Chain A
């Protein structure tokens, strides 16, 4: 468990112009060959993609060196041939947000937990495990959070089918018709 970094007293609460280019340049300079791709999406938003092996390294750099103190959100996506774990990490100083996409192979859905960096990851990783079945290694308590404890499936996976067409039974059908 990391000690929470002391917040810098007084945020300006104003976006810094051109911050996305700066953050982008720093990330590319530092992790050149380890980034699958990186781009500036729009003002104050940078998106990068990495392999799961480099997650902790990238996140530590974001938090310690670039002062991204706030972990906003963790999303797990099922792409049928692989998984993705998407981290939205945000900076309260300049309003910048970095989207880190980590690729996870389908047959081994495991990735390192970022709870030692941000405690905010605790519930989001539990939710991602609960609904998508991705194991976050090193999580202090990886249990079901939204679904009942004895639930057997991970419903947000694409192979967990849901009824797509009609979601009601017509009266005619109830009477035995088609």
Chain B
């Protein structure tokens, strides 16, 4: 039977957004693949050039709608470095708390979509139920469930309400109890293991070469976490364990699942530590200048990998050039390697484990 191309997308439940994965099949086996992206391109880098530095925070929130704070934070960090703005210590700690709350919410959204990808609808219901806890916390912090507009150049928008740490503790305690059930649901499901183990493999050398970052890189057994390797905010003072695949045979869908899943617990630990270590009172924001000249960049460990903003100013009150480095955009280039040699029915199981967010990929 001759080989032929199958379009998985742009309208396909697997895509979790709008993009197209073209796969070339020989019978059931994938011989080649080619992602087609750009359906959600909104011209972010262009429209940010005509808006003031402060106004762009609203835009960067919309880069990834399930992980807004991490994106507006990396933008604020890059612009702050260009302007030479120092964030007060309490502001840095509040940023850490908001980032980790957002990371848990984002990973739970991924878990909620990965379950149904494999026919495990309970995963969707459970993960979304627990995500509400964290969305409530984020709402208490910033006033919004989505697109929070919370980080600011030089700090954060507002302080947290009274007793916020107690509320976080209570929610996290409840959540950590629930995680045991999750582990039973996923790790002890024979079907789940059969569909993920040994599927969608990428070697560590290829992952580095193609620019794969974040949990997908750590699933190959490489201990790389920018919160440790290139610390920003107050991550230096936090004690946590980057989640790296320790087994012999990593880089498959299951390893990616395990690394992401275990990050949920680590992030909760970081939040609890932050409340112990942060100063109880003090400034959370400094005033940033309106105009800036020069260049600055920042890279952070986003929920999906290495997020980088490169901002150039020419002395005006708006950026001259903004470049967004999206982790998913780079990982997408490596997806043909993940897919080759697998069966057509496993495409969903593989791409679900990569955690695609089309908003940041297409910019």
- Are A and B part of the same complex? yes
Say whether A6 contacts B37, CB under 8 Å: no
Residues on B with beta carbons closer than 8 Å to the beta carbon of A14:
228-229
Q: In the complex, how many residues of chain B place their beta carbon closer than 8 angstroms to a beta carbon of chain A? A: 45
Say whether B323 contacts A123, CB under 8 Å: no
Q: Which of B299, B329, B330 has the most CB of A within 10 A?
A: B330
Chain A minimum-CB-distance residue to B230: A95
Q: How far is the CA of A16 from the CA of B329 in the complex (A)?
A: 29
Contact of A75 among B213, B231, B306, B310 (CB under 8 A): B310
B338 in contact (CB, < 8 A): no
Say whether B208 contacts A10, CB under 8 Å: no
Residues on B with beta carbons closer than 8 Å to the beta carbon of A5:
205, 209
Say whether B229 contacts A13, CB under 8 Å: yes
Given known contacts A7-B205, A92-B208, A123 and B333 CB-to-CB distance under 8 angstroms: yes
Given known contacts A75-B321, A77-B312, A95-B230, A12 and B223 CB-to-CB distance under 8 angstroms: yes
Say whether A119 contacts B333, CB under 8 Å: yes
B362 in contact (CB, < 8 A): yes
Residues on A with beta carbons closer than 8 Å to the beta carbon of B308:
72-73, 88
Secondary structure call for the B interface: mixed
Q: Which of B49, B231, B297 has the most CB of A within 10 A?
A: B297
Say whether A123 contacts B332, CB under 8 Å: yes
Tell me which residues from 199 to 257 in chain B have a Cβ below 8 Å from any Cβ of chain A. Answer: 203-206, 208-211, 213, 222-225, 228-231, 242
Contact indicator per residue, chain A 48-91, by CB within 8 Å of chain B (1) or not (0): 00000000000000000000011111010110000000101010
Residues on A with beta carbons closer than 8 Å to the beta carbon of B12:
none
A4 in contact (CB, < 8 A): yes
Q: How far is the CA of A156 from the CA of B319 in the complex (A)?
A: 13
23 A-B pairs (CB sep. < 8 Å): A4-B203, A13-B224, A13-B225, A15-B229, A70-B208, A73-B310, A77-B312, A78-B321, A86-B310, A86-B323, A88-B297, A88-B310, A92-B208, A92-B222, A99-B297, A118-B209, A120-B211, A120-B330, A123-B332, A124-B325, A155-B46, A160-B46, A162-B49
B residues at A contact (CB < 8 Å)? 37-38, 41, 43, 45-47, 49-50, 81, 203-206, 208-211, 213, 222-225, 228-231, 242, 297, 299, 306, 308, 310, 312, 320-321, 323, 325, 329-330, 332-334, 362-363
